[in-house]
Amino acid sequence: MTKFQKIFPLLLLGLIVVSPILAAEESPIKSADDIIKFSRAILSWVSTIFWIAAGIATLYGGFLYMTAAGDSEKVGKAKKQILYAVIAIVVGLMAKGAPALIESLLKARA
């Protein structure tokens, strides 16, 4: 898989999320509260996607580990899959906490 094939779904998702904003005649964001609401909505979706991905990756990694039958190559692949699941969990947690960080940064400047 090329790097473009890995990044393309993320670019497509970003375009789908941003296109209604770009199509609007005037910006829906007029204040810091609007930025906070927008970031909460987007990051809530991101968090949900990563939680689902983490659950699937954990189940798949567990399946790979259970079916490895002592083969060190398969065990290594299973461990790598579980590591990816942990990374997805961390990204999901960061996406859940990011709106509070954005809010505190915007409120501190106001």
List all residues 6 or more positions away from 44 whose beta carbon is below 8 Å from its beta carbon.
Answer: 95, 96
User: Can you state the angle between helices 72-109 and 32-66, rounded to 10 degrees?
Assistant: 170
The encoded tokens of residue 37 equal 């609401």
**What is the model's pTM?**
0.61
Q: What is the dihedral of CA 44, 47, 48, 49, to 10 degrees?
A: 120
Q: Where are the domains of the chain?
A: 46-110
Residue 61 has pLDDT above 70, yes or no: yes
Q: What is the pLDDT of residues 65-97, one digit of tens each?
A: 999 988 999 999 999 999 989 988 888 888 888
